[in-house]
Every structure is written in structure tokens, then in C-alpha cells.
A = this chain, B = another copy of it.
């Protein structure tokens, strides 16, 4: 049959910046400097963040306001606008939380997003985070393959690797040094213009024309 592709993007680090990093900058709270690099247990990290927010009176709506000031990464909107008319299956697979990340999703268009949610208490504080499904990135790619799609997945970090491995084609986008060393098997791109070229080659699409702005 003629190939039908589904393109799975990680969100933070690939299409947009890091929301927690931005919140740290805007609030100046030292406690929010802790990242997955310092605390590999994501549950623990999130409970730590949630505690810091409550102690400092930062509510979900405040976090959402910060996210509203963020813009997609350079070239991300162009990648999606270029890709969609050629392959109307763009799925964002992210471990972020819809409650505050939605303003960023809106700026990327109407792409489908598989993510998680946080629970908010009566006062408007984040109470806890709820993972919809463990290892959902990998499982989503597997489900898409089960529906007879070819899959390509693009990610930048350790939590993307299982999805990149599950996909027919995995691509690293601007990875950290250690990720790059640990997973030399994946092709690597450093900006969206190069990503579009690689996607076109991978999926047999017409070569993208060079656009202003990467």
C-alpha cells in the first residue's frame, strides 16, 4: 500500500521551551531549579515542585499566565504548517500537563496532544499530578503502528528514547550531550529547517523549500 505516516513530536525541547524553567525565571524561586537532572524520580520531582508552589502562593492560574507568555521554538510553527498538508497526522506526545500547557498547544495549531493532567484544589493550588498512563509515549507509538501507520518520532531527552525506539524512525532534536553519547543510533538535527529536510527524506515527501526563519 502507499505509505501512510504518523508523526509524533515530543513537546518541550522540540516544539516549545521548558515551562518549569520559565516559571523559575519569572518567579525567581530557587526551589524550582531542581530538574530531572537532579531528581530522576519524576513523581518525587513533581511533588517537590507542587510543595514549592503552595509555600510561595503560586497557583495554577499563575503558572498558566507564565506559560501564556511563552512562544513556540524558532521554526516549530513552520514545521507543523509545512507538514500538515502533506501528512495530516501530527500527534504531540508529552509528559506535560494540559491544565497549564494548553496556551502553548494553542499556539502550535490544532494538533492532537496526548499528555497528562494535574488535579487542582478548591483554592486553585496544584494538588497532585496524575499520569494518565505510564510510558504513554512508547505505548502511543505502538498503538499507532497497530493501526497500520508508519511512525516517525522526534524527541530530545531520555524520556523520549522508548518512543524513538518503538517508532519506525526515531530522530533526536537538539539533544543534550549525554543523550547524544548514549544513543548514537539515532539521526540528529539541531534546528527545524534541518528537521523538515530529514522528515521529507524519511517520509518520501517533496523537499521543503527554504523558509525565512529556521
| Interchain CB contact under 8 A, A112 and B136 | no
With contact pairs A4-B98, A132-B4 given, residues A89 and B112 touching in the complex (Cβ less than 8 Å): yes
For this chain, the copies found in one complex come to: 2
| Interface residue SS majority, chain A | mixed
Which of A45-53, A140-148, A162-170, A200-208 makes up part of the contact surface? A140-148
Tell me if A54 is interfacial: C-beta within 8 Å of chain B: no
| Interchain CB contact under 8 A, B1 and A130 | yes
The count of chain A contact residues (Cβ–Cβ below 8 Å) is 36
| Interchain CB contact under 8 A, A98 and B105 | no
**A198 — which chain B residues lie within 8 A by C-beta?**
none
Q: Taking CB as reference atom, which chain B residue is nearest A148?
A: B133
Q: Within residues 81 to 128 of chain A, which ones have a CB less than 8 A from any CB in chain B?
A: 84-85, 88-91, 98, 102, 105-106, 109-114, 116-119
Please tell me which one of the listed residues B113, B114, B117 contacts residue A2 in the complex, with CB atoms under 8 A apart.
Answer: B117
CA distance A146 to B149 in the complex (A): 17
28 interchain pairs, CB-CB under 8 A: A1-B117, A1-B132, A2-B117, A2-B118, A4-B98, A4-B116, A80-B110, A84-B106, A84-B110, A88-B102, A88-B105, A88-B111, A88-B112, A89-B113, A91-B112, A109-B109, A109-B110, A110-B110, A110-B111, A114-B147, A132-B147, A136-B148, A139-B147, A140-B147, A143-B143, A143-B144, A143-B146, A143-B147
